[in-house]
Amino acid sequence: MTRETLIIVAGIQKRKEESLIAENNLVGRCGLYCGACTIYRAYEDSGEYRNRVAAYFKCPPEKVRCEGCQALTPECWGNDCEIVKCTTAKGLSFCYQCPQFDDKSCMKFEDLAKRYMEDNVDVRANLSRIKAGQVNGGFVKVKNGSNAPTARSP
């Protein structure tokens, strides 16, 4: 390979690594795929959708901001999430790492899981897949082979 070819290959590899890091940041602590989350989408897409989400939550558009559960910044909406607060306080990355996950005694998680199950989103099953290492590029594979369903919209 020539020096020029090596530089091009290195650049492609670097972009690929950066992409994987970004996608892994979107693996939600609770089992949701952050990339489909209303707040994340509104922040990434910006514009009118962000304004609609802000109006729905009665907050300024600047507050509608998140880069994914695994990449929280001080400005992120996710810092107000009860699940994020809980996992952070316990030094955990995911709910499945908590002893209360297996015995279903964490009402924060159980309430969330029940709400999303109404939309056929099984966050408990998703967390089991995350635990088993079955995360592919930020998506959690579900039984039918599709990617994890989206989070609720306002």
More confident call, 133 vs 19: 133
Burial of residue 111 (number of CB atoms within 10 Å: 0-12, 13-18, 19+): exposed
In a domain, 150, yes or no: no
Measuring CA to CA, which residue among 101, 96, 30 is closest to residue 68? Answer: 30
Give the β-pairing of 139-140 and 135-136.
antiparallel
| pLDDT at residue 129, rounded to an integer | 87
The pLDDT of 139-150, averaged and rounded, is 40
In a domain, 41, yes or no: yes
In a domain, 100, yes or no: yes
Our count of domains for the chain comes to: 1
Tens-place pLDDT, residues 46-95: 889 999 999 999 999 999 999 888 888 888 888 888 899 999 999 999 99
In a domain, 51, yes or no: yes
In a domain, 57, yes or no: yes
In a domain, 146, yes or no: no
> Residue 90 belongs to what domain range?
3-140
The pLDDT of 101-107, averaged and rounded, is 94
In a domain, 149, yes or no: no
The answer, yes or no, to whether residue 14 has pLDDT greater than 80, is: no
More confident call, 6 vs 138: 138
Burial of residue 92 (number of CB atoms within 10 Å: 0-12, 13-18, 19+): middle
pLDDT band at residue 136 using 50, 70 and 90 as cut-offs: low
The residues facing 141 across adjacent strands are 147
In a domain, 130, yes or no: yes
User: For the chain, what percent of residues have pLDDT higher than 90?
Assistant: 36
In the numeric block, which tokens belong to residue 140? 């959690």
Measuring CA to CA, which residue among 57, 61, 34, 30 is closest to residue 126? Answer: 30
